[in-house]
A = this chain, B = another copy of it.
Amino acid sequence: MLSKSCIYALRSIVFLAYNASFDSKIGIKKIAEELDLPTHYTGKILQQLTKNKIIQSVKGPNGGFYLNEKSQEIELIEVIEVIDGLEFFTNCGLGLKECSEEHPCPLHYDFKIYRDGLWNLFSSKSILDLVSKIEDGDAFIKNFEKK
């Protein structure tokens, strides 16, 4: 459901929230290394997140990425919107062009329950919520599917 890029983004952000701060920024290389991600691809994603104010960055020596206080409160759905877009949450499950309460597809009402449920879930969890559930940080950071 979430693209690989989006999951890379979420992992990176959680990693930053957990480990970085304005006074100790973390660079692309370090992030990619710790999360075992392709360096340049990760750079692209971080760049996109920075441009959309999801995370912060500083260039030059001692530069890198970090999250300011506001960013830590960002909801997961905002990250999803930037990376994947919200099509999943707005489009008909059966691909109907016009599917609505007035002209529902055969699965409309059933499908809507779960689609809206996921929307609400991602809209109610912040980066900090994820961080707070990490009991041993490493398991969350290291345990990802590579393929």
Contacts and interface: CB of A to CB of B under 8 A. Distances in A.
Interface of A: 1-2, 4, 7, 10-11, 88, 91-99, 103, 105-107, 110-111, 113-114, 117-118, 121, 125, 129-130, 133-134, 139-140, 143-145
Contact of A130 (B106, B129, B139): B106
A29 to B, nearest CB: 22
Given A103-B139, A114-B117, A144 B96 contact: yes
11 contacts: A7-B95, A11-B95, A96-B144, A97-B145, A103-B143, A105-B140, A106-B125, A111-B118, A114-B114, A114-B117, A114-B121
A91 to B, nearest CB: 8
A7 B95 CA distance: 7
Assembly stoichiometry (copies): 2
Given A1-B88, A93-B2, A121 B130 contact: no
A77 to B, nearest CB: 12
B118 A114 contact: yes
A119 B108 CA distance: 15
Contact of A143 (B93, B97, B107): B97
A110 B106 CA distance: 26
